[in-house]
Chain A
Amino acid sequence: MKKRLIAIGTCLMALALVFAACSGGAGRENETGPQPSAAPTSSTSTSTGEVVTLRFMGWEVSPLETESVKKGLEMFMQQNPNIRVEYTTLPTGTEYVAKMQTMILGGEEPDVFFLQSDYYRDFVKRGYLLNLDEYIQRDFSTDDLIDSAILLSTVDGSFYGIESCIVAPVLFYNKAIFDKANMPYPPSDPAQAWTWEEFVDVAKKLTIKNGDRVEQYGVYGLEDYYQTIALIMSNGGNWFNEDYTASAANTPEVREVLQKIYDLRVVDGASPEARLLQNAGMNASQMLQTGRIAMLVTGSWALQELANMDFEVGVAVLPKFKEAVTHGQAHLHVASKNTKHPEEAWKLIKFLSSEDYQLQNVRAGLWLPNRKSLYTEEGIRKWLTEGVHPEDFEKLIPYFLSSKVYPYAMLPSQRIQEETTAQLDAFFYGGLALDTALQNIETAVNAVLAEMR
């Protein structure tokens, strides 16, 4: 009993490190098991002798995403017969970052991996990533990348990864519900974006009650900092000041937006509590499909999944406060600093950043391009896909092109998101006064930023 006590109570850290290392090893064993995507190796090992095996890790938003990645990797392995790529997915979100860091510290890191833009600068600061400058200078042109992609991928002028694409929060809707209610679809053209009041009006009309029970909610998905920030930007606000040296949470612009999002659920009853329905084993896309919600605010990546479901989905711009804006960013493909095969790792990153690979995922609806050439009239023809991109999708393109920089991607700290989420939860679900929540965010964020300098 005393043994167990000490073990759990105090050796937690050291033991967990050991466990983490073990589980990292176990993960590798799994990979060497049955792996259908490793097919092309048989023909290759004879031609060049030595085959280098790269460990590549990412996450899975939907099984379709993993399918896309594996399809791409097969193409890569055919082009590079001496490289074999083993792809593994980890749980997403903060768990991904925690697991990745544990693997890095335990010397079990993959050679190449996905990294959320939110944590990119933190990883660079901690020295986990391979500097790609010399490789990029040698054989990669960044001229075609849109400005925000370069801004996001470089830290003090150096590349440690390349942004995969962009994704942006948008408004998805179930067309059948609007048809049935005989109401016009939400606008895709940013110039015609709904004002917040118009949006609330529609959401209220599409909320259908049966006695005490709500059968259909107007909209879902706003009470999350990823989505919320787009509306705050639309109101001329931001979480941070312009050079990211101080919090700008405690401002009228932020306050107005948060209060209105809160009212939409609590006063108007037009939105279910966030996370509430996910527990039922139904994700947001399925809720939209089955008509539990009429509109869904989420990242543009959901289009791949939604387009594959059996209903007609539409994509529109978010409602606006002052101007119609969204923000753009996406995960980066990065290599570990300690990789034994930097040359091959670079080849993989270069492939993952190529137009071919990007096009494949853009056509599937998962990504939006971050290359200028894919936003020209000719370029757009290359990827706009019938059956995936709804009719009016083209009208959204200026919206994505003018998307603002995602502020969390510009800061090297994980504590900021943690604190912001905790305070927002306390406001949205815990009855904490908005002013107090914003003051708390301001104080905590400024403390973190001060410590960083």
Chain B
Amino acid sequence: MHTIRKLLYKDGTWAFLMLLPNLLGFLVFMVFPVAATFAISFARWELPADIEFAGLANYRRLFADGVFAKVFWNTVYFTAVSVPVGIVLSLFLAIMLDRKLRFVRFYRAAFFIPVISSMVAIAVIWQWIYNPEFGLLNYVLSWFGIRGPTWLTSTTWAMIAVIMTAVWKNLGFNMLIFLAGLQSIPESYYEAAAIDGARWWARFRHITVPLLAPTTFFVTVMAVINSFQVFDIVYLMTQGGPARSTSVLVYYIYQNAFQFFDMGYASAVAYVLFFVVLFLTLLQFLRQKRISIFY
């Protein structure tokens, strides 16, 4: 009795009790599935057949699977193009909109709208834009005498088309983070530099870029992680086609899990993704520690 009363007067007990609902949810919907997926990845489980232990068979199959190699490469390609392009563009936008412009709030909101728009609507509109015969994009290109490709049905251009849409959609989010980063740089540095006669480029190169480094790093890692998990846009715009040229890791997981119901193999692919993302996250954590020491 005494101990219970004592516990009730402790802050820790109350904190724990208040957190319990959230904690339970986290355990049931996060920790348990993560652990279960790991276990399933070592099993042969083609629903609705019974699950049976299969050792490393799924992982061995991964290495021999040409499709897996293809989707992994596609994911890397998507990331390698969309992340740098997205970051350069959003940084540019952030700098442009970090000034005393008329209607600056309107512009910021306008660029942010795609971030909060429904991916389904975006996919439909971009499919129209990419239409080779009646689409806006090829129409604009034709002004310059360029005959645009067939975009979403071309094995070379479909991925580029998907990347352009993805960059456009995420531009506003990165822009916002960059804006916050830019505004946290004290104005006095720029004033001092101006007095010393530094021009725009010198100020950008020697003040903005280094002081923005933590933000840039954060945005980069987040963008890479998100790119590795790209799914909705591919599912909606191309379904991985044509000829798997836009098929990515998560789409392959989806196909194996919910088209072929091969849960074991899907789990194994999911764990490859997990380790990639885990690695990137650790990188971010380590770097964050270092940065907080420096600044």
- A: which residues have CB within 8 A of B? 1-3, 5-16, 18, 20, 94, 97-98, 101-102, 104-105, 126-128, 273-277, 279-281, 414-415, 418, 421-423, 425-426, 429-432
Is the CB–CB distance between A10 and B257 below 8 Å? no
Q: Complex Cα distance A10/B156, Å?
A: 30
Q: How far is the CA of A292 from the CA of B130 in the complex (A)?
A: 20
- Complexed CA–CA distance, A5 and B242 (Å): 29
Complex Cα distance, B47 from A259, in Å, reads: 39
B243/A430 in contact, CB under 8 A: yes
Residues of B within 8 A of A280 (CB): 128, 131, 133-134
Please tell me which one of the listed residues A10, A18, A102, A432 contacts residue B271 in the complex, with CB atoms under 8 A apart.
A10
B63: min CB distance to chain A, Å: 15
List B221-258 residues whose CB lies under 8 Å from chain A. 222, 225, 229, 231, 241-245, 250, 253-255, 257-258
The reply to whether A414 and B243 form a contact with Cβ atoms under 8 Å apart is no
Task: State the main secondary structure of chain A at its contact with B.
Answer: helix
Question: CB within 8 A of A101: which of B49, B253, B258?
Answer: B258
Query: Does B93 belong to the interface (CB within 8 Å)?
Result: no
Residue B73 interfacial (CB < 8 Å): no
CB distance from A119 to the nearest CB of B (A): 10
9 smallest CB-CB distances across A and B, nearest first, come from A430-B155, A14-B33, A426-B243, A425-B243, A11-B33, A425-B242, A430-B243, A10-B274, A279-B131
Pick from A8, A128, A421: contact of B229, CB under 8 Å: A8
User: Is B250's CB under 8 angstroms from A12's CB?
Assistant: yes
Task: Report whether A13 and B263 are in contact in the complex, using a CB–CB cutoff of 8 Å.
Answer: yes
Residues of A within 8 A of B57 (CB): none
Q: Are A11 and B30 in contact, with the CB atoms below 8 A?
A: yes
Residues on B lying within 8 angstroms of A by beta carbon are 26, 29-30, 32-34, 36-37, 40, 47-49, 127-128, 130-135, 150, 152-156, 222, 225, 229, 231, 241-245, 250, 253-255, 257-261, 263, 266-267, 270-271, 273-274, 277, 281
Residues of chain A contacted by B229 (CB below 8 angstroms): 5, 8-9
Choose from A11, A423, A425, A430 the contact partner of B29 (Cβ within 8 Å).
Answer: A11
Known: A97-B259, A415-B260, A422-B243. A11 touches B133 (CB 8 A): no
Chain B residue with Cβ nearest A423 = B243
* 8 Å CB contact of A5 from B33, B132, B281: B281
In the bound complex, do residue B273 and residue A9 qualify as a contact, i.e. CB atoms below 8 Å apart? Answer: yes
A276: B residues at CB distance < 8 A:
132-133, 150, 153
A13 touches B155 (CB 8 A): no
Cα–Cα, bound, A1→B177 (Å): 14
| Interface pairs (30), CB distance under 8 Å | A3-B26, A8-B229, A9-B270, A9-B273, A11-B34, A13-B40, A13-B270, A16-B257, A16-B258, A18-B29, A102-B258, A105-B47, A105-B261, A126-B47, A126-B261, A273-B150, A273-B153, A275-B153, A276-B153, A279-B128, A414-B259, A414-B260, A418-B259, A422-B244, A425-B155, A425-B243, A426-B242, A429-B242, A430-B154, A430-B242
Q: Which of A5, A10, A102, A273 contacts B37 (CB 8 A)?
A: A10
CB distance from B173 to the nearest CB of A (A): 12
Q: CA A55 – CA B135 in complex, angstroms?
A: 41
What residues of A have a CB within 8 angstroms of the CB of B255 in the complex?
A: 418
Residues in B with CB closer than 8 Å to A105 are 47-48, 261
Q: Which residues of B contact A18 (CB under 8 A)?
A: 29
With both chains docked as a complex, state the minimum distance between the C-beta of A450 and any C-beta of chain B, in angstroms.
14
- Whole-angstrom distance between the alpha carbons of A164 and B273 in the complex? 43
Q: Compute how far the CA of A320 lies from the CA of B37 in the bound complex, rounded to whole angstroms.
A: 52
CB closest residue in chain B, given A1: B222
Hey, which chain A residues are within 8 Å of B150, CB to CB? Answer: 273, 276, 429
- Min CB distance, B248 to chain A, in Å? 13
- Which residue of chain A lies nearest to B127 when distances are taken between CB atoms in the complex? A279
Specify which of B29, B155, B281 is in contact with A426 (CB 8 Å cutoff).
B155
A7 to B49: give the CA distance in the assembly, Å.
26
